[in-house]
Amino acid sequence: MKLALMAATLDRAARIDHLTSLANRKTFFEEAEAIVGSEAFREGAVLFIDADHFKSVNDTFGHAIGDAVLQEMGSVIRSSIRERDLAARIGGEEFAVFLVEAGRDKTLEVAERIRQNMRGVRRAVGIEDREITVSIGICVHGPGQTLNNILLRADQNLYVAKNRGRDCIVATTGFGPLFA
């Protein structure tokens, strides 16, 4: 019994980000690959989400508050998606979401909900004088795209969002042009 509990604890630690309780990077990529490779997979989208100017939160308020912000960001993401979707902290202040069976309109709706709900993070952690915003890069799966294609395009779109001034969403469908 004790050995089984230890094995379960180790398995969870290997798959889950300890701070946010979301999937970790490794788990995200493995599970997203399984989703895209599934015969049942028809449509979906990847969202890359990055906290804007997060270093200044740590520098101003300390790492304990920075951790609290990350925890709350994880909660916002979790509450903004469906149970069947996949959310992860992929590093630092970067998060990823794989929306299963979500086309363009549903994806933009979820992304905007996440972006708007992040504005409440500062109140939840008690830093009223600092706005918490995110930039979001999206790629909606297109015919013939591999997971790597989707991830690369979502990442490129995240950098476009950052260069556009942050606190915004930039998206593409498949290999197509930007639409947000």
pLDDT in tens, 38-70: 877 888 999 999 999 999 999 999 999 999 999
pLDDT for the residue numbered 13: 57
Report all structural domains of the chain as residue ranges with CATH numbers, in order of start. 2-173 (3.30.70.270)
pLDDT for the residue numbered 17: 96
Q: What is the DSSP letter of 176?
A: S
Q: What is the DSSP string of 119-166?
A: GGHHHHHT-TTS---EEEEEEE--TT--HHHHHHHHHHHHHHHHHTTS
pLDDT for the residue numbered 176: 63
Residues marked active site are found at: 93
pLDDT for the residue numbered 42: 84
Structure-token pair, residue 105: 């309109």
pLDDT for the residue numbered 155: 96
pLDDT for the residue numbered 128: 83
Say if pTM beats, i.e. exceeds, 0.85.
yes
End-to-end distance of the chain based on CA atoms, in angstroms? 52
Structure-token pair, residue 122: 């500062």
Low-confidence ranges of the chain (pLDDT < 70): 3-14, 174-180
pLDDT for the residue numbered 168: 96
